[in-house]
């Protein structure tokens, strides 16, 4: 005689005297647990690096794809340089937070708008988390003689909660941060986002892509090359959860990162060119031309 399979969930309901009815056959499990192929992919990106390494310009690049809400905590967003780069500044809505409560309120407003109209915004950027955390500490310090250790703990919890609120929005979400230099007991130097350890650890785990930005001066005196590293090195943290980005990308703007994730660009196309394929699908021309230029000046560049 075939034994009927045990429904542990039903037993749990009756054993504990639940009044809530057990699951019915009218609600299939697929309705409660959607598969990955039915979900929309959004990119959560962290850009961190030295001042002048292209973080702000890179983050605003998402405006090429649609309307962007830009949280300008550093008041560093300027219209003229962005227009010079050909960015559609009419797509950038600027929000300058006065309090952390205002940031939380903005997250709620964006979620409501995106729920009503999923195409209301292509994304949101917080620039920069380092400045937001500094302002949050100053906000907590007002009216107090000094901050206690408990105050710093409360500050950290606020920011960690805020990161999750924005990371979970149904759109692309970008964060920027300054770089912090740490030295261990052996004298080894490491670089990471300039945030307190608990917040930095949360952020590095929450986002899909971590990009270390840096600028390299050109021998011809023109504008520096702005590069983004998406693979961790000995001295800096980086990450590509999608596994689709080149280890080093010229001009790592937010829209270019999304283009790789969505398949408009393929890093394999560069290898196909090396193998003799003419005009391969998904070739990133800007990345390809950068490699050609590096080869022409005799600079060793890792194959992407």
In a domain, 125, yes or no: yes
**pLDDT score for 101:** 87
How confident is the model over 176-229, as pLDDT tens digits?
A: 999 998 877 777 888 999 998 889 999 999 999 999 999 999 888 888 999 999
Q: Which residues lie below 8 Å from residue 187, measured CB to CB, with a gap of 6+?
A: none
Q: Which residues lie below 8 Å from residue 220, measured CB to CB, with a gap of 6+?
A: none
275 and 214 co-located in one domain? no
204 and 255 co-located in one domain? yes
Structure tokens belonging to residue 68: 């962007």
User: What is the rounded distance in angstroms from the CA atom of residue 155 to the CA atom of residue 252?
Assistant: 31
> 142: domain range?
38-264
Task: Rounding to the nearest 10 degrees, give the CA dihedral for residues 113, 117, 120, 126.
Answer: 40
Range with lowest mean pLDDT among 35-49, 53-67, 248-262: 35-49
Structure tokens belonging to residue 205: 């785990």
Total domain count, the chain: 2
User: What is the rounded distance in angstroms from the CA atom of residue 86 to the CA atom of residue 102?
Assistant: 31
Range with lowest mean pLDDT among 2-11, 18-27, 207-216, 227-236: 2-11
In a domain, 29, yes or no: no
Which is more confident, 15 or 136?
136
Nearest to 135 by CA among 198, 73, 205, 44: 73
156 and 43 co-located in one domain? yes
Give, in order, the Cα–Cα distances in Å from 33 to each of 16, 28, 30, 86: 25, 9, 5, 43
In a domain, 151, yes or no: yes
How confident is the model over 152-185, as pLDDT tens digits?
A: 466 778 888 899 999 999 999 999 999 998 877 7
User: What is the rounded distance in angstroms from the CA atom of residue 213 to the CA atom of residue 229?
Assistant: 7
How confident is the model over 226-283, as pLDDT tens digits?
A: 999 999 988 899 999 999 999 999 999 999 999 999 999 999 999 999 899 988 999 9
Q: What number of helices (H) and strands (E) belong to the chain?
A: 11, 10
**pLDDT score for 25:** 55
**pLDDT score for 105:** 94
Contacts of 78-87 spanning 24+ positions with Cβ under 8 A? 81/57, 82/57, 85/57, 87/60, 87/61, 87/63
In a domain, 28, yes or no: no
Query: What CATH number did the domain enclosing 153 receive?
Result: 3.40.50.300
Question: Is 292 in a helix, a strand, or coil?
Answer: helix
Q: Is the pLDDT of residue 15 over 60?
A: no
Average pLDDT over residues 66-95: 93
In a domain, 30, yes or no: no
293 and 219 co-located in one domain? no
Range with lowest mean pLDDT among 67-76, 110-119, 148-157, 273-282: 148-157
Contact criterion met (CB below 8 Å) for 214 and 49: yes
- Mean of the per-residue pLDDT values for the chain? 84
**pLDDT score for 158:** 83
91 and 199 co-located in one domain? yes
116 and 226 co-located in one domain? yes
């Amino acid at each position: 005689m075939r034994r009927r399979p045990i429904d542990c969930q039903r037993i749990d309901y009756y054993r504990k005297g639940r009044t809530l009815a057990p699951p019915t056959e009218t609600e299939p499990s697929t309705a409660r647990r959607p598969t990955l192929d039915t979900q929309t992919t959004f990119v959560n990106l962290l850009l961190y690096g030295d001042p002048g390494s292209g973080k702000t310009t890179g983050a605003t690049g998402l405006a090429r794809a649609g309307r962007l809400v830009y949280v300008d905590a550093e008041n560093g967003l300027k219209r003229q340089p962005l227009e010079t780069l050909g960015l559609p500044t009419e797509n950038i809505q600027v929000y300058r937070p006065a309090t952390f409560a205002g940031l939380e309120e903005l997250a709620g407003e964006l979620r409501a708008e995106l729920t009503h109209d999923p195409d209301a915004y292509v994304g949101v950027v917080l620039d920069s988390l380092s400045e937001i955390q500094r302002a949050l500490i100053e906000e907590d310090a007002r009216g107090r003689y000094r901050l206690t250790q408990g105050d710093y703990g409360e500050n950290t919890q606020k920011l960690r909660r805020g990161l999750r609120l924005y990371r979970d929005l149904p759109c692309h979400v970008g964060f920027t941060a300054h770089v912090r230099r740490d030295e261990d007991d052996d004298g080894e130097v490491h670089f990471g986002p300039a945030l307190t350890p608990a917040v930095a650890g949360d952020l590095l785990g929450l986002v899909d892509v971590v990009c270390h930005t840096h600028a390299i001066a050109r021998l011809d005196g023109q504008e520096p090359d702005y590069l983004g590293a998406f693979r961790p090195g000995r001295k800096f943290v980086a990450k590509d959860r999608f596994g689709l980005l080149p280890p080093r990308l010229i001009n790592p703007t937010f829209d270019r990162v999304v283009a790789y994730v969505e398949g408009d660009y393929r890093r394999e196309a560069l290898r196909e060119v090396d193998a003799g394929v003419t005009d391969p699908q998904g070739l990133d021309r800007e990345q390809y031309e950068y490699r050609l230029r590096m080869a022409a000046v005799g600079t060793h560049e890792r194959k992407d």
